[in-house]
């Protein structure tokens, strides 16, 4: 007899109309990659048992940091010992070892080593990379300041070159120039790549990266001239020491400026290489697409997994008077809450995979501006959607969703910073909008548009042919139409403002809201088109069918959400929108039999979800009770607070306020 599985969940799995394993292979890159993923997951789970890490929900922040550091050091030693055959194995192992958790050494892998590999001269690579990869140098990337974030040119930390000593003098001249937020900076690392305004021969040469040792290699004490520490508790991220860093005439050697793209000669002459770092868009694209995939799509996928499984385990109220309590997922209202989010998850995931594939090809250089605009907008679109969706999944789980044991709080606080780091989302939409505005100007000059904006010069039909079947071509055309109309409206407003005498910067600011709306529509069109293209590559007919339902639901819901844009231009009639609303409801019933299989296909372990409500076996209530009994407050039958405070109140003992 196998392990217990809730009968309702087992019935859902047995009744699915497709094999979720086929979809797992599509989502995770094929048979061999899924084998590697599962093998590394199993290794990490076995190692976690050996490490005996306590439940983070019952730990203080300091205890969480220490426990995560224990895991991090264990992982780094395995990495040093050659336990992983390649980066893919290391990646999957890390994911399982640190589920929705930012380890204290995360920036070593995410920013410090990649920056050394991409921004240093050959001599500097030889000097630093070995120690970084052997974890003698523990580093982070210090760019953001307490008063400046996305606006890099506004950074105030200075690096003034002194030709007499051939050193740079680092200073934090103002309160707002203190470095603030870099992960791992507060207590973990001993080095930082610091972005600072380079001053030499009386001139500013812009912001450049510098290698800075911040702590003693022997004692880990901060070096003289360096004030450093943790910025305090945050919304989440309790396992990582986001820090502050202040310099007071702190000197570093001239050779510590990262010199791949620029350098300062001994006499102070600034030299800029012909090959500029700004041309290397591929890394930036990959980072933002990575956020769309690993933070937004995965975060929303985990939330949907929990909510949909729990909605099949939970039975409540009556549909038929006097009948048995139905599964919550049988209520159409619950389906309406969750299935559009499930459709969005698949749209985000497939679009992220496609963008990631493109960013790793030569097209990333050929189409640099186009891919930069797409990745910026995609990061904004998906993280905004994921943040709202994760919270909607929590609400759909009722009271139990509010418990830390649900997994939602940890998933949410891990995903929500994605809306602000690596570019605040409104700013990123405006970057996409600038590309759209340039594309309009290019088209008006008679030049040909290529890439994602080529539709702006197409002759689109004035009326939609969309019908109840929600044909893929008609759906894509609808989103293309909306994007084109909103781009045209934003461009027209800006043109009118400039014609009225407004300077370019003021006209841009006064038309920024329409431009952001246009950017969002442009990205949504790209997501819909890419989702459809990805489905067309799937070979299994049953999988194609269920993905087709999700595509149609995604299309219907987003057209209905922005119905006014289709009505105002006469592209759609109110009857067509009503037809789409009816189709959307019918699609809920089509998706219902496959809902659990669709979330099982994401292939998350219980450890990764960190949720009692979303357990694979569906044994929710027994484990909720066990978890509650493990609360530290239950270690004694009578709490310490009773003896200190309550007893006197209850027994009428006099006390002074």
Distances in Å between the Cα of 517 and the Cα atoms of 40, 454, 520, 631 are: 42, 19, 5, 47
In this structure, the number of other CB atoms found within 10 A of the CB of residue 87 comes to 9
Q: H-type helices in 445-511, by residue range?
A: 472-499, 504-510
Distance CA 501, CA 510 (A): 13
Report whether CATH 2.30.110.10 matches the domain 281-445+475-599. Answer: no
Looking at residue 367, its pLDDT comes to 63
Q: Which parts are annotated binding residues for FAD?
A: 144, 183
- The torsion angle over the Cα atoms of residues 584, 590, 594 and 596, rounded to 10 degrees, is 40
Q: H-type helices in 201-266, by residue range?
A: none
Tell the residue number behind the tokens 């008006």, with chain if given.
444
Distance CA 392, CA 384 (A): 13
Looking at residue 279, its pLDDT comes to 45
Residue 123, burial from CB neighbour count under 10 angstroms (0-12, 13-18, 19+): exposed
Q: Which CATH superfamily is domain 135-274 in?
A: Butyryl-CoA Dehydrogenase, subunit A, domain 2 (2.40.110.10)
Model pTM score: 0.94
DSSP assigned state of 598 = H
User: Mean pLDDT of successive 10-residue segments in the chain (657 residues)?
Assistant: 89 98 97 98 97 94 96 95 94 96 92 93 97 96 90 91 98 98 97 97 96 98 98 94 98 97 96 63 70 93 99 93 94 99 98 86 64 93 98 98 98 94 92 96 92 92 88 95 97 98 97 98 98 97 98 98 94 96 98 99 98 98 97 95 94 68
Distance CA 76, CA 132 (A): 12
Looking at residue 320, its pLDDT comes to 86
Q: Give the SS3 label for residue 365.
A: helix
Give residue-wise pLDDT tens across range 568-612.
Answer: 889 999 999 999 999 999 999 999 999 999 999 999 999 999 999
Looking at residue 175, its pLDDT comes to 98
Give residue-wise pLDDT tens across range 16-28.
Answer: 999 999 999 999 9
Q: Which stretch of DSSP H or E encloses residue 597?
A: helix 595-600
Looking at residue 277, its pLDDT comes to 46
State the catalytic residues: 422
Q: Where are the domains of the chain?
A: 20-101, 135-274, 281-445+475-599
């Amino acid at each position: 007899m196998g392990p217990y599985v809730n009968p309702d969940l087992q019935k859902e799995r047995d009744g699915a109309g497709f094999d979720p394993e086929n979809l797992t292979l599509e989502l995770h890159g094929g048979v061999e990659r899924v084998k590697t993923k599962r093998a590394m997951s199993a290794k990490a789970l076995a190692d976690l048992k050996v490490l005996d890490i306590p439940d983070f929900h019952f730990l203080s922040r300091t205890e969480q940091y220490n426990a995560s550091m224990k895991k991090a050091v264990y992982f780094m030693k395995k990495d040093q010992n050659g336990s992983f055959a390649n980066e893919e194995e290391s990646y999957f192992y890390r994911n399982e070892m640190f589920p929705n958790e930012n380890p204290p050494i995360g920036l070593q892998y995410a920013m410090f080593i990649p920056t050394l590999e991409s921004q240093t001269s050959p001599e500097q690579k030889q000097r630093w990379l070995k120690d970084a990869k052997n974890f003698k140098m523990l580093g982070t990337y210090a760019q953001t300041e307490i008063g400046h974030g996305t606006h890099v040119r506004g950074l105030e930390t200075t690096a003034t070159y002194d030709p007499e000593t051939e050193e740079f003098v680092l200073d934090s001249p103002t309160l707002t120039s203190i470095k603030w937020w870099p992960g791992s900076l507060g207590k973990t690392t001993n080095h930082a790549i610091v972005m600072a305004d380079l001053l030499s021969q009386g001139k500013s040469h812009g912001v450049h990266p510098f290698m800075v040792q911040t702590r003693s290699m022997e004692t880990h004490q901060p070096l003289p001239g360096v004030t450093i520490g943790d910025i305090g508790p945050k919304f989440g991220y309790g396992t990582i020491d986001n820090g502050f860093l202040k310099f007071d005439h702190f000197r570093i050697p001239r050779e510590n400026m990262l010199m791949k793209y620029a350098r300062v000669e001994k006499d102070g002459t600034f030299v800029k290489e012909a090959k500029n770092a700004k041309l290397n868009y591929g890394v930036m694209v990959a980072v933002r697409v990575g956020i769309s995939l690993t933070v937004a799509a995965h975060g929303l996928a985990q939330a949907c997994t929990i909510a949909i499984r729990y909605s099949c385990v939970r039975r409540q109220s009556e549909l038929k008077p006097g009948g048995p309590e139905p599964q919550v997922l049988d209520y159409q209202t619950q389906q309406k809450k969750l299935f559009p989010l499930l459709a969005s998850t698949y749209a985000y995931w497939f679009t992220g995979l496609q963008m990631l594939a493109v960013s790793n090809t030569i097209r990333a250089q050929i189409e640099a501006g186009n891919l930069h605009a797409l990745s910026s907008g995609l990061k904004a679109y998906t993280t905004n959607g994921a943040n709202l969706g994760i919270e909607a999944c929590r609400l759909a789980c009722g009271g139990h969703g509010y418990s830390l044991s649900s997994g939602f709080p940890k998933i949410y606080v891990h995903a929500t910073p994605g809306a602000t780091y690596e570019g605040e989302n409104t700013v990123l939409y405006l970057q996409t909008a600038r590309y759209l505005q340039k594309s309009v100007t290019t088209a008006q000059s008679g030049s040909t548009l290529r890439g994602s904006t080529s539709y702006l010069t197409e002759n689109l039909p004035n009326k939609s042919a969309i019908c109840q079947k929600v044909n893929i071509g008609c759906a894509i055309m609808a989103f293309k139409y909306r994007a084109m109309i909103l781009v045209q409206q934003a461009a027209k407003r800006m043109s009118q403002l400039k014609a009225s005498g407004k300077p370019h910067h003021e006209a841009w600011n006064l038309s920024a809201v329409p431009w952001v709306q246009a950017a969002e529509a442009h990205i949504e069109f790209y997501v819909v088109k890419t989702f459809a293209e990805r489905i067309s590559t799937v070979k299994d007919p049953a999988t194609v069918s269920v993905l087709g339902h999700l595509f149609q639901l995604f299309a219907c819901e987003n057209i209905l959400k922005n119905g006014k844009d289709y009505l105002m231009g006469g592209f759609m009639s109110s009857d067509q929108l009503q037809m789409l609303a009816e189709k959307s409801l019918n699609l809920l019933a089509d998706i219902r039999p496959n809902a659990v299989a669709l979330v099982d296909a994401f292939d998350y372990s219980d450890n990764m979800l960190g949720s009692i409500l979303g357990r694979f076996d569906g044994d929710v209530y027994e484990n909720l009770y066990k978890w509650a009994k493990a609360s530290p407050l239950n270690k004694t039958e009578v709490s310490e607070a009773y003896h200190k405070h309550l007893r006197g109140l209850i027994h009428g003992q006099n006390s002074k306020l």
